[in-house]
């Protein structure tokens, strides 16, 4: 059930599959006889110097995937690799505890909660804990329909019942960790009256379906650091993000977990890059599984990519070491791809490395600019 919670998407999982599949349709064209003895993947993302333009995407409740390691392990692994970490607002470790694990650059993801006082308080805590930026997720006015979870009788925290007993007993190591560590809950809000036992209950009471651009602009005014808006797909919305003062547009369909049959994010990139026109940075996530996927996103206008499931698999398999291994695989693949392309710097990855850029452009032309 935990595997399915990570792996799954909304409805028929069309977008989930499409995100990864569409990267393969973009063809790479290489230079020959270029000196590639020194590859430099360093970049600047949201004002932070990073060793590579790869961001740890915010994912709720990391202790669910490894009850002992959780967010702390992911934050430490990101710091060890010199990468930008983002904590989910629904993390199972508090902002302050995460900050104690890593002096490295970090972002905090939020939603516009119904209780605006709570929003202000969480922003103040993020600032005090040294977070460099805020990521406002806007593709979640309601939770997506992820059918694997009810089928598995999955809940947060996971409960051992008649239906889940066989699965739990088949994973004694996980069960031991789950039952010998503190209960998994939304730690950032645990201090509220009565605590927050269930993330789903908390989401239902605090998610505000009436949120509009005015609220996003209000949020921007509340935070004086870097500000990104995550979950954007339409070019005109991307332009509006910049107009209300966002530093970055985060192109995402929530890894295919929200609106199913949405386009693959890589197909949305060219029109969004046109709309943003250099006025801010663009971050892309969804289906990034190879170093070559990263090169393609950068070539088509992204300043960085973010990854969700790839590091979660590492975390679930072996905690901090697993996350480090996942990051090592991706960064070394990016370096190898750059060497094979004959490009030694991130800013040298332009649209000319995509052989069929024009076909790709035609495919994305139907999307309103």
Ligand X SMILES: Cc1cc2nc3c(=O)[nH]c(=O)nc-3n(C[C@H](O)[C@H](O)[C@H](O)COP(=O)(O)O)c2cc1C
325 φ/ψ sector (left φ>0, alpha ψ -120 to 50, else beta):
alpha
174 to 213: interface string for ligand X, x by CB under 6 A? ----------------------------------------
**Smallest gap from residue 33 Cβ to ligand X (A):** 35
* Alpha helix ranges (H) inside the chain: 2-7, 14-23, 70-80, 95-101, 116-128, 148-151, 165-169, 172-180, 199-206, 213-222, 235-243, 265-276, 291-299, 309-341, 357-364
Which residues are within 8 A (CB) of 365 and not within 5 positions of it... i.e. 6 or more apart? 271
Q: Does 143 bind ligand X (CB under 6 A)?
A: no
Beta partners for residue 135, in sequence order: 109, 228
Which 302-331 positions form the footprint of ligand X (CB under 6 A)? 307-309
**Smallest gap from residue 274 Cβ to ligand X (A):** 22
d(CA 95, CA 164): 31
Task: List the one residue from 271, 280, 286, 314 that touches ligand X (CB under 6 A).
Answer: 286
223 to 242: interface string for ligand X, x by CB under 6 A? -------x------------
**Smallest gap from residue 221 Cβ to ligand X (A):** 21
Task: List the one residue from 255, 271, 291, 314 that touches ligand X (CB under 6 A).
Answer: 255
Find the part of the chain contacting ligand X (CB under 6 A) among 151-159, 218-226, 248-256, 294-302: 248-256
Q: What is the dihedral of CA 198, 200, 205, 207, to 10 degrees?
A: 140
191 is annotated as an active-site residue:
no
**Smallest gap from residue 91 Cβ to ligand X (A):** 8
Beta partners for residue 44, in sequence order: 49
Q: Does 62 bind ligand X (CB under 6 A)?
A: no
Binding-residue total with ligand X (CB under 6 A): 23
In eight-state DSSP terms, residue 279 is S
Beta partners for residue 354, in sequence order: 28
Which 82-141 positions form the footprint of ligand X (CB under 6 A)? 88, 90, 109, 137
Asked if residue 282 lies in contact with residue 249, where contact means CB atoms within 8 angstroms, the answer is yes
Catalytic residue among 81, 191, 254, 366: 254
Which 350-369 positions form the footprint of ligand X (CB under 6 A)? none
Shortest-Cβ-distance residue relative to ligand X: 308
Q: What is the bridge-based pairing of β-strands 54-56 and 84-87?
A: parallel
Which residues of this protein are in contact with ligand X, per CB under 6 A?
5-6, 19, 57-60, 88, 90, 109, 137, 230, 252, 254-255, 257, 285-288, 307-309
């Amino acid at each position: 059930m935990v595997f399915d919670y990570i792996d799954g998407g909304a409805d028929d999982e069309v977008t989930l599959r499409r995100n990864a599949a569409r990267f393969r349709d973009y063809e790479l064209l290489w230079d020959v006889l270029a000196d590639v003895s020194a590859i430099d993947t360093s970049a600047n993302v949201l004002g932070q110097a990073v060793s590579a333009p790869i961001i740890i995407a915010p994912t709720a409740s990391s202790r669910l995937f490894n009850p002992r390691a959780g967010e702390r392990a992911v934050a430490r692994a990101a710091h060890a690799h010199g990468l930008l970490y983002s904590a989910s607002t629904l993390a199972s470790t508090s902002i302050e505890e995460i900050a104690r694990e890593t002096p490295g650059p970090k972002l905090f993801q939020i939603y516009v909660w119904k209780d605006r006082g709570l929003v202000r308080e969480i922003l103040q805590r993020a600032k005090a804990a040294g977070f460099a930026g805020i990521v406002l997720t806007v593709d979640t006015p309601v939770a997506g329909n992820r059918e694997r979870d009810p089928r598995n009788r999955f809940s947060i925290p996971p409960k051992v019942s008649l239906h889940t007993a066989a699965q739990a007993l088949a994973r004694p190591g996980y069960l031991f960790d789950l039952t010998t560590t503190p209960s998994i809950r939304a730690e950032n809000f645990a201090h509220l009256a009565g605590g927050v036992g269930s993330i789903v209950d908390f989401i239902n009471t605090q998610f505000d379906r009436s949120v509009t651009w005015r609220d996003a602009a209000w949020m921007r005014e509340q935070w004086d650091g870097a500000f990104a808006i995550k979950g954007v797909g339409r070019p005109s919305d991307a332009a509006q993000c910049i107009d209300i003062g966002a530093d970055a547009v985060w192109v995402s369909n929530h890894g295919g977990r929200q609106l199913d049959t949405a386009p693959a994010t890589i197909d949305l990139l060219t029109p969004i890059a046109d709309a943003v026109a250099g006025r801010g940075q663009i971050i892309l996530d969804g289906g990034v599984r190879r170093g070559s996927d990263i090169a393609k996103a950068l070539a088509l206008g992204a300043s960085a990519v973010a990854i969700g499931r790839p590091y979660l698999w590492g975390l679930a398999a072996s905690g901090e070491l697993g996350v480090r291994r996942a990051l090592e695989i991706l960064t070394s693949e990016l370096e190898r791809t750059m060497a094979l392309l004959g490009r030694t710097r991130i800013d040298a990855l332009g649209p000319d490395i995509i052989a069929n850029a024009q076909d790709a452009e035609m495919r994305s032309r139907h999307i309103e600019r």
